[in-house]
Structures are given as C-alpha cells and as structure tokens.
Amino acid sequence: MDSYWSPKYPWDSQSGDLSWWKVDLGSVCTIFRIELATRPSLPLARYNFEVHASNTVNMENYIVLGIVGSCDIIPDGGTWVLNLPTSVSCRYLRAMKTVKERSLEVDFAIAEFRAFGY
C-alpha cells in the first residue's frame, strides 16, 4: 500500500488547491470501514473534509463515501469512523478538504488513514 499527501500551509500556495491524502491499496479491494485518526492540537484538521473512492490514480469519477462538515468536529486527537452501509470496491481512497482554511497551521493533518476490507 502506498500513500500520498498534499498538505497546504497558508504560505505554500495562493492557489485554490485543497489539501488531501490519497492511499493506493495496490489492487482493487472491497472496503467496508474507514477510520481517520487526527493529530492532536490541530483543530482545522478535524472538519470540512470528504472521503472519496476511485479506481483511477487521478481520482476521476470518484464517489463520495463520507463527509465531515463544519459542525461535525472530531474530538482533539480523535478518530472518525465510517462504517459503509454497502461495501465499495476501489483501488484508491482520498481524504480531501472541502474548503481552504486560513490559519498559521496546517489545515489537514491526518495521523492515520485506515481502510478495512478484503
């Protein structure tokens, strides 16, 4: 399994690029549960993101598996758990911010991206 991430800091880019973390599962897998563990003391990392699934490396034709909005803040250092109502077959998973945060800290800091399936 490979993972790639694109953290954005306010001074990194003036573009509209959003931060993301992508995982290559190595082959198509059937996923039934996803967990994202956030880093402690980084409040912006704990809301305003989506989790996507796709079978293409550039994430074309992705489907949204879950959304955490601005009112759904994950506790400090907590873990967000998504039990999928129907399992999904995919090779790539991505967690991506839905808004560009304006802060002096990184706006998306995941400690662990866990996918459960077969």
11, burial (CB in 10 Å: exposed 0-12, middle 13-18, buried 19+): exposed
Q: What does the pLDDT read at residue 55?
A: 97
Per domain, the residue ranges of the chain are 2-117
2-117: CATH topology is: Jelly Rolls (2.60.120)
Instruction: Tell me which residue has tokens 């996803």.
Output: 34
Q: Closest Cα partner for 83 from 33, 27, 31, 36?
A: 33
Beta strands 110-117 and 20-38 are antiparallel
Between the CA of residue 53 and those of 6, 60, 77, what are the distances in Å?
Answer: 17, 10, 24
- CA gap 87, 100 in Å, rounded: 30
Q: What does the pLDDT read at residue 34?
A: 96
Give the CA dihedral 67, 71, 72, 76, nearest 10 degrees.
Answer: 130
Q: Do 21 and 3 touch, CB atoms closer than 8 A?
A: yes
Question: What does pTM read for this prediction?
Answer: 0.82
Q: What does the pLDDT read at residue 10?
A: 47
Q: What does the pLDDT read at residue 31?
A: 97
Q: What does the pLDDT read at residue 64?
A: 97
Residue by residue, pLDDT tens for the chain (118 residues) are 444 555 555 445 555 678 888 999 999 999 999 999 887 777 666 788 999 999 999 998 999 999 998 877 787 778 999 999 999 999 999 999 888 766 655 667 788 899 999 9
